[in-house]
Chain A
């Protein structure tokens, strides 16, 4: 009993500390554009020496310097400063936020020296953020979504354990994790919709695979919680819920990979070839993920405590009936 209390206190402290740290970092430390979608469209096998054609987004245009941010290939994550030696004033050729093709030479020591700059004219390719500041929600939206995936993973694990071994503990854990995960999924979806309004101009698009599949995931765990709350401790309900938890988890990987394999505007930052985090952004994101994981652990612990109290009430009621 005492140990549980201690763990709870430690979890609350960790959650508060990390949440504060993430908030401060996201507001004051994190770069405005946490991800970018630069892709090299053409390049020679050897990146030095020959002319290469690089596609990128103009990030910080000052004077004659064109900085390209996070060129993803062949060396992901590097920041390249581009010096322009071609004709004309660069600031008349491009402005911040433009997607450009740059032809020039790359030298690991001196950076990229550009000879030609050409404004890319394909609206299908994303070119930076239209709304850079709102992109900061990334530091909270992604951890919330990630935590909901973690929570549903716990549901899967506990459901399998319940089906194989039985035991009320697994059932309580699965139920608690599903409820907390549903809450995280809800805030992730809502914050995503608000960001979409700023970035894409609309809150929701039913044709977007990522949005649709996450909505279905949300529905599935609403159904899971509904299955649990409907019946008053019918014997078969935990078993049914465990099976549904196993079935429903299938939507988690679908939701995760949907924007990587189907049509979707949703940015892919982690585990994809198009997005790369700068190291500052990565640090803040990691901090956020840790913070939300601690919040999850705290809520999960509170939720299981409630379920244990419900068990206690049932025991007491049975005792009362026996005495009468």
Chain B
């Protein structure tokens, strides 16, 4: 079969791109969640 290799590479790259983007989103989200938690603690701490 001609082109088997190219097919697998292209298939891999499509999903690698999507998975990398998901990882990037997850990392951003967790960073932001941490920051929100920190800010809330600071605000709550200030009230005490």
Partner of A131 from the list B3, B32, B46 (CB cut-off 8 Å) is B3
Minimum CB–CB distance for B39 against chain A, Å: 4
Contact A186 B17 (CB under 8 A): yes
Per-residue A-contact encoding for B1-26, CB less than 8 Å = 1, 0 else: 11111110111011001100110010
Residue of chain A at shortest CB distance from B33: A309
On whether A136 and B7 interact (CB within 8 A), knowing A198-B2, A310-B32, the answer reads yes
- Chain B contributes a number of interface residues (CB within 8 A of A) equal to 28
| Dominant secondary structure at the B interface | helix
Q: A134-B2, A199-B3, A295-B18 are in contact. Are A306 and B36 (CB under 8 A)?
A: no
Query: A133-B1, A183-B17, A299-B25 in contact; A190/B10 too (CB < 8 A)?
Result: yes
A141: Cβ under 8 A from any B Cβ: yes
Asked, given contacts A144-B14, A302-B25, whether A132 binds B3 with beta carbons under 8 Å apart, the answer is: yes
Residues of A within 8 A of B5 (CB): 198
Also in contact, A309 and B2, with CB within 8 A (given A137-B11, A320-B43): no
CA distance A317 to B9 in the complex (A): 46
**A191 interface contact, C-beta 8 A:** yes
Cα A320 to Cα B40 in complex, Å, equals 9
Whether A131 pairs with B6 at a CB distance below 8 angstroms is yes
User: Which A103-135 residues sit within 8 Å CB-CB of chain B?
Assistant: 129-135
CB–CB B3/A198 < 8 A: yes
A312 at the interface (CB under 8 A from B): yes
Cβ–Cβ < 8 Å partners of A141 in chain B = 10, 14
Contact: B14 with A313, CB < 8 Å? Answer: no
The reply on A303 being an interface residue by CB < 8 A is yes
Q: Across the interface, do A132 and B2 meet the contact criterion of CB distance under 8 Å?
A: yes
Q: Report yes or no: A191 in contact with B10, Cβ–Cβ below 8 A.
A: yes
Q: How far is the CB of A70 from chain B (nearest CB, A)?
A: 20
Chain B residues, Cβ within 8 Å of A306? 25, 28-29, 32
Q: A191-B10, A194-B13 are in contact. Are A303 and B25 (CB under 8 A)?
A: yes
